[in-house]
Amino acid sequence: MSDLLMRDIYKNFGETKVIHGINIEINDGEFIVILGPSGCGKSTLLRMIAGLETVTSGEIFINNIKVNDVEPMDRNIAMVFQNYALYPHMTVYNNMSYGLKIAGFSKKEIKERVNKASEMLQIKEYLERKPRELSGGQRQRVAMGRAIVRNPAVFLFDEPLSNLDAKLRIQMRLEIKSLQKKLGTTSLFVTHDQVEAMTLADRIIVMNEGVTEQIGTPLEVFETPKSIFVAQFIGSPAMNIIEGSACDGGYNLNDGTLIKCPNVKQKEVYIGIRPEDMVPDDNGDIRLKVNMPEPIGSTTIIHGELANSKIPLIVHMQGLHNILDLNQFINFSVPLEKIHFFDKKTGLRIN
C-alpha cells in the first residue's frame, strides 16, 4: 500500500502551466526529498498535497483516500513552513497545542502529546516562552513540534532550514532525519539544496520546469543521472559537459582530445565528466590549462580549459595542491566507467 499517490497531476495558474503530469507513488514511512531550482514547481506540488492549492487535473490519494476535495485540516497531514508561521502572541505550549484544541482533543490528551513532543525535541524548558524569546533553531523545533503532536499520516516540509545559518542547518538536518526514523512517518521535504537532498532522502524527486526529471535514491541520481539537467544539478562542483563527435575508437572533443569508447553508437553526443573523477596522470589524454586554483583545505578545485580550445573544465582534486603557475598544463585521465554520455538532441542519458 502506498501512503501517498499522485496520479497525472497538472496545475495551471490562468494560462500559465506550472505542473505537467506528475506521477509519484510514495510508500509508508519513506522520506522523500523534492529537489529542484527556484520556480520548478516543487513548493506548488507540496501545497497541492496539503490542500493549500487546488489541482487543475489529476488525483491525490492519502492512505488510499482521494483528497482532491478534502479540506486541509481533514487530510491528516502536518506542514512545517520555511518561516515557522508561529503565533507571536502565544506561548510555545499554546502554539503546539492550538491545532489539537481546534480539533476537539481533551486537555489531558493535549498535555500528554505536547509534553511528549517537547521532550523529544528538547524544548520542554521553553514551553512558557513566546516565539520572540527563542533562537531560529528553537523556533524551528517548535514548528516541528506543532506538526508532531498531530500524529499525521504525512509530514510536509517546505524548505524549513533555509532561514538558518550553515552550522545550525547541519544540526537540524541530522535531527529531522533522526526524528523521522524514530516516528516512521511518511515525509516530503522540499529544498533547492542538493546536500540536504543527498543526506536526508530515501529517494529524491528531481524536478525541472514542472516535470520530474528523475526519481531515485541519492546514489542512483548521482551515479546514473538520466539527463544533463540532473547531472549538472546534482554534484558540487557541477559535472563538466563537453560536445563529442564519433571517430574510430571513441569520441573526439572539440580540441581533438580522444575519449576512448569501444561501443560508439551515436555520431554526436554530450560527454559528462565529474570533476572528482579526473585523475592526474602524466600520460592522460585530457590536457588542462590552469586558469585558477581554489585550495579549500582538504581538497583543491582547479578551474581551467582544454589545452587546445577555450572549453572550460573543472577538476576537483583530493589534498592541498599549491599551484603557483596559472598557465601551466596538467594531464588527466578518466576511467571509462566514470564517463557519462548524453544524447545531443534530447539531453537524455545513453546507456
The pLDDT value given to residue 258: 80
Q: What percent of the chain has pLDDT over 90?
A: 63
**DSSP state for residue 337 in the 8-state scheme:** G
Which pLDDT band, with edges at 50, 70 and 90, does 1 fall under?
Answer: very low
Residue 94 grid cell: 499554546
pLDDT tens column, 157-216 = 999 888 788 888 888 888 889 889 988 999 999 999 999 999 999 999 999 999 999 999
* Distance of alpha carbon 25 from alpha carbon 292, whole angstroms: 45
Whether the pLDDT of residue 2 is over 70: the answer is no
In the chain, % helix, strand, coil (3-state, to 5) comes to 30, 35, 35
The pLDDT value given to residue 110: 94
pLDDT tens column, 254-291 = 777 788 777 767 788 899 999 999 999 988 888 899 88
* Distance of alpha carbon 137 from alpha carbon 121, whole angstroms: 11
Residue 134's Cβ-side half-sphere holds a number of Cα atoms within 13 Å equal to 24
Q: DSSP characters for 229-285?
A: HHHHHSSSSPPEEEEEEEETTEEEETTS-EEE-S----SEEEEEE-GGG-EE-TT-S
Residue type, 67: V
Beta strands at 329-333 and 286-295: parallel, antiparallel or unpaired: antiparallel
Whether the pLDDT of residue 113 is over 50: the answer is yes
Which pLDDT band, with edges at 50, 70 and 90, does 327 fall under?
Answer: confident
The pLDDT value given to residue 268: 85
Selection from 40, 38, 6, 44 nearest residue 25 by Cα: 6
The overall average pLDDT reported for the chain is: 90
Whether the pLDDT of residue 335 is over 80: the answer is yes
* Same fold? 2-233, 240-343: no
Q: From the options 1.10.132.10, 2.40.128.130, 2.40.50.140, 3.40.50.10470, give the CATH code of 240-343.
A: 2.40.50.140
The pLDDT value given to residue 325: 66
Q: CATH number of the domain at 2-233, please?
A: 3.40.50.300
Domain positions in the chain: 2-233, 240-343
The pLDDT value given to residue 219: 96
